Amino acid sequence: MIKLTRLLRNYLGGRINYEGFNLCGQFLSLKRALRDIIACFKELVAKNKLENEVELNAAFCLGHCMDGVTIKVDNELVTGVNPQNAEQVFEAQILGRLKA
């Protein structure tokens, strides 16, 4: 199972898990983008019927706030995630790993 993790728990109401896939939105300017990215990822999880394989959870800062929203899949950081590229990032980082 790939675990999608994010900073602002109130968007999901999910439990906290500090491993797997992390989203960081430390600055308030990233809050709206983070909300949109989370919504996009949730939609893609449902669309691809991955509810049993992908889980969205909460995490602390990943230390790359100046690079925009940062995600972590396993131990790999991906910076600069935004609402415009969220679907592409999901396909490459999540679907790509599940298909491998």
pLDDT digits (tens, 9 = 90+) for 41-76: 999 999 999 988 887 766 667 777 778 788 888 778
Instruction: Tell me the percentage of the chain whose pLDDT exceeds 70.
Output: 67
**Model pLDDT, residue 88:** 97
32-46, 49-63, 68-82, 85-99: range with lowest mean pLDDT: 49-63
Highest mean pLDDT among 8-12, 29-33, 65-69: 65-69
Q: What mean pLDDT is predicted for residues 74-98?
A: 91
What number of CA atoms fall less than 13 Å from residue 77's CA on the CB side? 12
User: Helices marked H in 1-75 — which ranges?
Assistant: 31-47
- At residue 94, the 3 state secondary structure works out as helix
Count Cβ atoms within 10 A of the Cβ of residue 28 and give its class: 0-12 exposed, 13-18 middle, 19 or more buried: exposed
This prediction has a pTM of 0.71
Whether the predicted pLDDT of 1 surpasses 70 = no
Of the candidates 81, 89, 70, the residue with the CA atom closest to the CA atom of residue 26 = 70
Of the candidates 90, 93, 79, the residue with the CA atom closest to the CA atom of residue 30 = 79
